[in-house]
Chains A and B, each alone.
Chain A
Amino acid sequence: MTAVVLDGAATRPAAASTAGPAEIAADGLVKRFGRTAVLDGVSLSVRRGERVALIGANGAGKSTLLRCLVRLVEPDEGHTLLLGEPVGRLGRRALTRLRRRVGFVFQRHNLVPRQSVLTNVVHGALGRAGLLAVHQAVAPAALRAEAVACLDRVGLAALARQRADTLSGGQSQRVAIARALMQRPEVMLADEPVASLDPAAGEEVMALFATLTRQAGVTLLFTTHTMTHAIAYADRVVGLRGGRIVLDAPAHPGLAPVLERFFE
């Protein structure tokens, strides 16, 4: 499949992206902040097990799109199907149930600072275990063991008792990934997961993140400013400019010159 690049115009997702069951399907999403349309009719489809990178300059609408998919931000127009559920029509409880199946990794990791690393990872089970997962001290043995196993996967089991606000940026993001794995998600959304890290730590964490999500077989949609990450860790690259999708192409090294145009 060749790259589809349209300057200034929205485009339908590339043909391959709609084959097979779509776990994420957005149709005509519009989100305005004041008079500015941050998303201007975005349609996107991501198949089960697919890994898609969303690229675009600051303000292009990448983070807003991810947040609209799970209604952390309410879209003004458009429809979204996530894991077959019509997100916009769900009540509060049904939305909470759906979110349990969707991992979300934030740029600023968003750990609870005064709690231990282990408690932060146990929080990943809040959706299914409720108040039993508010703190590692009250969590059942099985949850604690699972949390330690998740920490092991990101190489931080030794820091389980350390307070989250004493970790480095890279360690914090690894803990955030462990928390997301603890959730046992079917879909993973990641908003510039390594943007706050230095290049070496960013490379390391991104590689780990990609490996773990591939092993878990989850569908992955992540935003990034790093072209090499988009090409190396995604099956497909979707480019946003001015709130519209202007690129939808399979990820391959030859795409680099096209991606560069998004940051000029």
Chain B
Amino acid sequence: MTEGAVARAPARFERPGMGGFIAWVCMLALVIASLRGVGFSPGRFVEGLPAMAAFAANLFPPSTERLAPILAALAETFMMAVAGTAIGATLSLPLAVLAVRRFSPHASVALAVRGLISLFRTVPDLVWALFFVVTVGLGPFAGTLALVVDTIGFCGRFFAEAMEEADRGPQEALAALGAGRSAIVVSAVLPAAVPTMIGTTLFSLEKATRSSVVLGLVGAGGIGMELEVAMSFFNYPEAATIILAIFALVLAVEQASQALRLRIIA
């Protein structure tokens, strides 16, 4: 290799332009300001470690006295997640089709549906749970309704993106042979989007399982209510049992969903 060739080789790293440099500085300043704003202090964290250890010690050994009602509440939590995800994902499908401009009957319809899906996604599930507790009363039905709305917010967006990213070739071929819009969606778009949609639904089930724990804290059913009661009465060994049960459920759902996803994508 000649020295000339070495000299002509491009630089390993491009020098950032003035705009890029300023953007990096601004981002760094924002992070530093945020850390100061929240009073981030490693020292205080280290000082608090003995208190954390004392709390953790109170959790052990976990109590098995009320194992049966805890497992029943855990089952209820899982059923809320399954029902909420199933209904939410099903309702997401037509909404996602309408949210894609190319398949929507009108641009305003696509915009309105996108807005609705965004609203469902941006309002926290805890707020939806409070809303439905007021509507249908305490219990798992309110929690399930909150999960339905949350799932639509999540699945609606990703289903629509999967449809938008579907290969245009088969769609063009079916359009060329005189297929209508709905026939193209059913014949070419949905088959292409199905793996992503199933993956998204399984992610949604994992998310709903975690969420359904928190929803119980506002009286929307499931094991969260048991956790709330145990913590309120300082019954830490029972709280430990509940936390371990939740951990086992979430882990099981994640493992099962990952195995299913791999199988479907393959």
Contacts and interface: CB of A to CB of B under 8 A. Distances in A.
A101 to B, nearest CB: 8
Contacts of B191: 112-115
Q: Which 8 A-B pairs have the closest CB atoms?
A: A127-B178, A100-B178, A110-B173, A126-B179, A99-B178, A104-B176, A110-B169, A134-B186
A134 B183 contact: yes
A104 B170 contact: no
Interface in A118-172: 123-124, 126-128, 130-131, 133-135
A131 B186 contact: yes
Interface of A: 70, 72, 96-104, 106, 108, 110-115, 123-124, 126-128, 130-131, 133-135, 176, 179-180, 183
A126 B174 contact: yes
Contacts of B176: 70, 72, 99, 102, 104
B170 A183 contact: no
Contacts of B173: 104, 106, 110-111, 176, 179
Best-surrounded residue of A97, A113, A128, A179 (most CB of chain B within 10 A): A113
B177 A100 contact: yes
Interface residues of B, number: 21
A261 B192 CA distance: 42
A115 B167 CA distance: 14
A133 B174 CA distance: 11
A111 B170 contact: yes
A199 B204 CA distance: 48
18 contacts: A96-B178, A96-B179, A102-B177, A103-B177, A104-B173, A104-B176, A110-B169, A110-B173, A111-B173, A113-B170, A114-B195, A115-B191, A126-B177, A127-B178, A127-B179, A130-B183, A133-B183, A134-B187
Contacts of B169: 106, 108, 110
- Residue from A96, A101, A102 having most chain B Cβ neighbours under 10 A: A96
Given A130-B183, A131-B182, 5 more contacts: A99-B177, A113-B192, A114-B192, A134-B183, A183-B177
Contacts of B192: 112-114
Nearest to A111: B170
B22 interface: no
Contacts of A180: 177
A110 B184 CA distance: 13
B180 interface: yes
A115 B173 CA distance: 15
Contacts of A133: 183, 187
Contacts of A131: 182-183, 186
A112 B183 contact: no
A228 to B, nearest CB: 27
Given A111-B170, A112-B170, A114-B194, A123 B187 contact: yes
A4 to B, nearest CB: 31
B223 to A, nearest CB: 38
Contacts of A111: 170, 173
